[in-house]
Structure 1
Amino acid sequence: MHDHRTDAHPAIWLALPAAVLSCAALPAVGNLAVLGAGLCALAAGLRQDGRAAWARAAAALLWGALLGLALLLLGDRFEVRYVWLYSGAELPLHLKLGNLWGGDEGTTLLLAAFCASLAALGRGQPMRVDATALIAAAIALLAAWLGPFSATPAELLSQAASQGMNAHLMKVWMLLHAPLVLAAYAWTLALAAPALAALGGHAAQWPHDAHMRARRAWMLLTAGIGFGMVWAFEDAMYGLVWHWDPVQTAVFAVWCLLGAHLHGVPGWRAGRPAWCWMPAAALFAAVLTLVAMGVTRHEALASSHRYVGAASAPVYFALAALLAAAGAAIGWRGRTRVAPVPLRQGFAAWGLRLTQYAFAVIAVAAAAQLAWAFHASAQELPRPDDLKPFFATLAGWARGNELPALRAAFSQWDVNGYALARAALYPLILIGLLGGWFFMRRLSPRLGWVSLALAALACGGVWLEGGLLTREYTGTGVLSQRIVAVLPRIDASLVAGAYLALAASAWSIRTARTAAAGHALAVGLVHVGAMLALWGALLSTALNGYSQHVVALSDDWRRDHHGYAFRITGVDVERTADGGRADGDGGFRAFARIELLTPSQSLASGQTLYRDGRSAIEGYDGPMREICEILDYRYARYADSPGYVLHPFIERGWARDVQLWVSPAAAVAALEGGPQTPQATVVLRYFPFISLLWLGLALTAAGALWLAFAPQRARRGKSVQSRT
């Protein structure tokens, strides 16, 4: 067979520096370069002859255009519309660079560059067309249509030198979260080609490079989600670490499908029982990746992640529909090409398959809730009152002319996270029990069955009688009563997770004495880390607490009933431009200086940030609204305005993390001559054992990094199924 990896001339890569210099010096040619890249990728997808050369030319042009756009951002070239829309002259260099993916045009361009690179580096599949290259072509052509290098209209330049950066994005996490997620998207989309080949009967074994791509996609997505959680924990509008935002729900479904796929790879052979499930999971993950891109750009559902004003959502949804239709058609045609392979499967193979099904069930449940939210929005169905916390309180305070807008905002559909969380608990418990048994049986078959019986009894006991969460819940935090009602079920999932973590640890320690020590340690870190993250997320969410205060700026300590004491010693106000969005000349930043005394009498000090693009008097709405804004991300999303952010001071510890949110709006307004009293609204929130979440994410990402990128030799015929 012709090796397509050798038919690309090195001179093709000269297109990269040429594109960089051309796009930076003459931005008008940038869109043409992106268009040319899309056409090259299209040729790579449709033509087997010279496929690698076309794919590499597309990748070179796209990366050249991306680097050219980066130079335009770093050089404050506001005559380019993209730079004018998303950047500012006063921004530090790392935030200017981060604006490469700050808008729809740049994000699409980066995703196209990732996809084209994978098409250029891949080994290809035994099919006439290359799905990876075609997906890259579609996204590149979409980027060209969006026009990242288009000129700034004269009327915009006359209004302001630049619009400025979205204040919520002015964090260092901007450099990590978004590109990691987009890279994971590209690796996931690259699974479409081997999945289609397998479903069409063109692949007897799952390609080793496709297995590595799935591992890399899962690792990058895990890391991207983790950095997103850290980011969200520091911003009132994003809803702490997780709140089943529509975009989060779609990404979570992709993450679960990648998990289902990875648990189905060992021993996969076309024709074995239920062989089509594994490539179907990989293809569905690629489809939902495109859906996630579309959801991020669609205005139907309430979301904290949406690109406002983006017009590309229909294109991503159409691509997802085409890919799903292609998979169904190819799978239907290929069903007769694969001869059944009789195989007697042992318990281990069934355990992996049930684990795969459990992950798939969670992913389907997430996708179904997302689809229902879109359907309800399209049909204009009324949103139930129990999905509108804080609305009754806010409606009582709202001014008459504001009430319709408030009602419309809270009536906008999003994902019913409560229902989804309840449904996911059943397969989550199953995954914990199956995973723990799988690792224990590798130590000893008898130990596996005995430990499974004990773990199942423990799960049943805490389900019926209540466990840690059920007994320790005090009602001092923000938690839906519908989640409180299933705390025993959550306790059962914690027991199952602990069983899996202990079993994986024991197996890793025992295997550390063998030649496969590195692999075993990485596998153990992934599973132990995932369970620690589960424990941290559930414990901190269920047992969180808060208190609210309105305090004067003074040296007097304010005691909190959680054992803490704090004081606001002053507020520093800055009115110099920082490159973020502002409304005229009224923008400012207020840094509240705080001191926090812990129950152990240790002193922590720092500051919080309150930034507003409006004048201080215009931005102050009263202390009760500020408290609701801090406690409920839905109201924070409703009250959000260009240039407005609120960041807390965080005191971290192994036992708990404490947030101190300070809104000094009244004090700043008083400085401007307003009638307000110079005081601050303070909300203290604490999250027990959330350090387990951060530790678990770090361990999982470290283990997944080793599995994804450490040099490994493809194993032939050595699988769980073939050994049983």
Structure 2
Amino acid sequence: MGASFPAVPAWAAAVAAAALIAGWAAAGQAVLVAAAALALHAVFRPAGRPRVLSLAAALAWGCVLALGWHFAMDGFALRYVWLYSSAELPLHLKLANVWGGDEGTTLLLAACCLSLAASGARAGADAARWSVAAAIAAWYALTAAWLAPFAATPAEWLAQAPSQGMNAHLMKIWMLFHAPLVVLAYAWTLSLAAPALAALRGAQPAWPGLARARARRAWAVLTAGIGFGMVWAFEDAMYGQVWHWDPVQTAAFCLWCFLCAHLHGVAGWAPGRKRGWAVPWAALLAALMAPLAMAVTRNPMLASSHRYVGADSWIVHFALGIVLLLAGLGCALVRSGRGGKDASPRAASGIGLWLAQLGLLAAGVAALAQLAFAFGAQAGGMPRPEEYKPFLAMLVNLMPNGSELDALRQAFDQWDVDGYVLARLLLAPLVVLGGVGGWYFFRRLSKRAGWASLALAAALAMLGAEFGGLLTRGYAGMGILSQSIVALLPLLDASLVAGAYLAAGCLAWAGVTAWRLGWKGVSVSAPLAAIHAGVVLMLWGGMMAIALNSYSQHELLPEGGLAEAATGWVKDRHGYTFRLAGVRFGDADDGARRGENGIRAVTTVEVRGARGEIMDGQTLYRDSRSLPERYDGPMRQVCELLDYRYARHVTTPGYLLDPLIDHGWGRSVQFWISPAALLEAAAANGEPPVVVAVVKVFPFVSLLWTGLVVAALGGLWLALLPQREVSAARGSQAGSFRAP
């Protein structure tokens, strides 16, 4: 049956499907069902599998292209387009809304999975009786068909409004990069399930080169996707900083750790090797974390700034993760029954790589356990401790409305991941990982270099613990974090030393390798050096920014009235002098979700730096409510700008507050201006409005951005390097000077 399909070029099938659905949207559902049916056929029939999967992938990509066409042409007759877009949006944001909701994201993931399954079948890597890759792709194609992205908009919706508009928080250029990169990384990671299950049941003679390349690509793309998300979060009031262990961030961190563990052992993996279980298990854990992360994104149980509001597909993703876990356990039991070892076991991998795998697996499992605990605590009705609610007592005294107070208590009682507990669990393994990694690379130069460098790093860490390291000495208790961070400062300082040791070892090894082996050495050592040095820069920048941040708050009295809204110069303790030069109000008709009288305000800020430099810029405020009741006091505005949980509580899909950010090598400074008080100036009391400004300073964030770029580029270089060149370089390197 499979051989009977005509050899239609995939691009032609995709174009034909896209043209059909662009002209007749109702056909999209049938095309999606056809793609899912073809994928199901390929699951059980090896004959013709490459051709069948290629056709299924072409149909899915045709659906993606057609959906983009309907967004670009304001096809609000489609329910999905009506829900997420608006005629006022610029073209790039209209197209970005293809993955702005659950339907489009799942469709994109299904198309990526189908393409990967097809390419694997064409490469001869999927000739088994049952295709795991095709089954996963079929699962998501069926889910996309169930979500019905091409369903028609109900007539009453169209009568109510021409479109609902875009979530204001998503109206950023980063929407073009963050979401699709993460989805692509999830698809590449899911493709590791098939070789992992084969290895666990003993049917994998060697780790496939295609799967190894896909794991490297998944890591590089996921790192880049997380990086774009960090930049985005730094600009958004619901975050205000690069990381705060949001449940979705925690799930992505788990996946990243499992991918790292897999990549640290996959090059030397072979059946029967000692401690070889970690490589396939890490690959399978990474694969099942992809659907689990998507389930967390769609499940409303935990408090989260990532949320597909109204989505109910989390059970589909969760079920796939459980199926993969049970399949892995079953394969491991089958392997155990066969004896579990190859007839001619080979020598074990290096102890350094093995310890790195263990450390990364432990970090991922610790984060996953904390995430599971949060879900269990919420499901079991366990009360959330009061120390997790630093702003609640203050806000309770400001609440005039009983229903609002009840909603606020519910928001603060909802569980999320405890970042302090997770930090305590992760920091000690992080120190060990840095020490092991640095020792491993120095030891590849010589035994003496390995042990001498390890002793020096340990001495530096102990000196830091005795006399206070960089973070311990620099901490002033003037930041957003509570005093709970004080107990972690010695471990944070030790992590910085361990990270520096790892980077130094990797760079030294890379330099010697390049000098001795020429281009072959550069082709492998340079990307590895970039990856490890980039991760260390990320560690340094992130830790210093989070631990040493500081803030100040100001209440500004406009001098020019509501029209001008200008204020006098205000001196900030960070060395900045600034003032509001004016506020321009207008209707919120920029394409975001809006109410009947939405407001949009652009505040012009003039700033003089500590060294006399002058800059100016603007902050953006918008709200779908004309006179938001929740902004009737300066203290509420301060709490919103300092506590992301309260910011989530007061926000709506039509609300946005963007800061003015001054990026520098030494520090990045945010100026958060909430002009909501000016909207209340027309109130009957006649009192002058008070505009709240909060200045947040994050030192050395530039190291984080630099590290992300360096690590992602190193990962991309390694992912695109031909496999034969990697193997040849590694073999030459091992034969020339690797320590015995």
TM-score interval, normalised by the smaller of the two chains: over 0.9
> Is 1:408 aligned to 2:417, yes or no?
no
Tell me, in whole angstroms, the C-alpha distance in 1 between the residues paired with 2:216 and 2:502: 20
Alignment of 1:501 with 2:506, yes or no, is no
2:317 is aligned to 316
Q: Distance in 2 between matches of 1:350 and 1:702?
A: 28
Q: Which moved more, 1:436-445 or 1:51-60?
A: 436-445
Distance 1:676 1:81 in 2: 46
Shift of 1:128: 1.9
Q: Which residue of 2 aligns with 1:148?
A: 149
How far apart, in 2, do the equivalents of 1:151 and 1:701 lie? 41
1:531 paired residue number:
536
Secondary structure in structure 2 of the residue aligned to 1:244: coil
- Report which stretch shifted further, 284-293 or 620-629: 620-629
The more displaced of 331-340 and 43-52 is: 331-340
Shift of 1:439: 1.2
Note the 1:624-635 alignment, pairs <5 A.
624-635=635-646
Deviation string 1:387-407 (CA, Å, 9 cap, x unpaired) is 222111111212241221111
Deviation (angstroms), 1:342: 6.6
Q: In structure 2, which of residues 568, 575, 580 is the aligned counterpart of residue 568 of structure 1? A: 580
Q: In structure 2, how many angstroms separate the alpha carbons of the residues matched to 1:440 and 1:213? A: 29
Work out whether residues 662 and 682 of structure 1, in 8 Å CA contact, stay in contact via their aligned partners in 2. yes
Aligned-partner Cα distance in 1 for 2:92–2:31: 25
Taking the TM superposition and a 5 Å limit, the aligned residue runs for 1:259-658 are 259-335=260-336, 336=338, 338-340=340-342, 349-401=350-402, 402-513=404-515, 514-515=518-519, 516-553=521-558, 554=566, 556-575=568-587, 577-584=589-596, 586-616=597-627, 618=629, 620-658=631-669
Question: Contact 2:538–2:705 at 8 Å: present in 1 too?
Answer: yes
Name the TM-score, length of structure 1 as normaliser.
0.96
Change (3 A) 1:70 1:279: same
Q: Which runs of 5+ in 1 are unaligned?
A: none
| Correspondent of 2:26 among 11, 25, 28 | 28
Equivalent residue in structure 2 for 1:715, among 715, 718, 727:
727
Deviations 1:481-511 (A, max 9, x none): 2222110011000000011111112222222
The question of whether the paired residues in 2 share the 8 Å contact of 1:409 and 1:638 is answered with yes
Question: Secondary structure, in 3 states, of the residue corresponding to 2:417?
Answer: coil
Which residue of 1 is the match for residue 68 of structure 2? 70
Q: 3-state SS of the aligned residue for 2:86? A: coil
Q: Which amino acid aligns with 2:483?
A: Q
TM-superposition CA deviations, 1:392-440 (whole Å, max 9, x none): 1111212241221111110001111110111101111111011111111
Question: Cα offset for 1:444?
Answer: 2.3
Please list the CA deviations of residues 672-695 of structure 1 after superposition, one character each: whole Å capped at 9, or x if unmatched.
888563442100000111110011
Contact 2:552 2:572 (8 Å CA) reproduced? yes
Cα pair 1:463 1:492 within 8 Å, conserved? yes
Match of 2:137 in 1: 136
RMSD: 2.0
Deviation at 1:460, TM superposition (A): 2.9
Q: Which moved more, 1:427-436 or 1:389-398?
A: 389-398
Using the TM superposition, name which of 512-521 and 654-663 deviates more.
Answer: 512-521
Deviation at 1:190, TM superposition (A): 0.3
Deviation of the 1:443 alpha carbon: 2.2
For residues 80-91 of structure 1, the aligned pairs below 5 Å read: 80-91=78-89
CA spacing shift, 1:676–1:242, aligned 2, 3 Å: farther
The Cα of 1:704 is off from its aligned counterpart by 0.7
Residue aligned with 2:397, SS: helix
2:700 maps to which residue?
A: 689
Secondary structure at the aligned position of 2:304 is classed as: coil
User: CA contact under 8 A between 1:552 and 1:678: conserved in structure 2?
Assistant: yes
- C-alpha distance 671-711 of structure 1, shift in aligned 2 (>3 A): farther
Pair 1:187–1:697, CA change in 2 (3 A): same
> Cα distance 1:343–1:562, how it changes in 2: closer, same or farther (>3 A)?
same
Count residues in correspondence. Answer: 719
Shift of 1:668: 3.2
Identical aligned residues as a percent: 53
What amino acid is the match of 1:141? Answer: L
Q: CA deviation at 1:707?
A: 0.5
Deviations 1:582-632 (A, max 9, x none): 011x11211111011111111111000111111035463321111111111
SS, match of residue 268 in structure 2: coil
Determine the structure 2 residue equivalent to 1:216: 217
The secondary structure found in structure 2 opposite 1:506 is helix
CA contact (8 A) 1:125 1:197 kept: no
Native 8 Å contact 1:669 1:676 kept in 2? no
- How many Å separate the matches in 2 of 1:673 and 1:175? 45
Deviations 1:17-63 (A, max 9, x none): 12101111111111111111111111122211111111111110100
SS in 1 for 2:26: helix
Unaligned runs of at least 5 residues, structure 2:
559-565
Per-residue deviation, residues 301-334 of structure 1 (Å, max 9, x unmatched)? 1111010100100111111111111111112112
Contact 2:588 2:624 in 1 (8 A): no
- Kindly indicate whether the alpha-carbon contact (under 8 Å) linking 2:224 and 2:712 is maintained by their aligned counterparts in 1: yes
CA gap of 1:457–1:356, structure 2 versus 1, over 3 A, is same
Alpha-carbon contact 2:588-2:622 (below 8 Å) kept? no
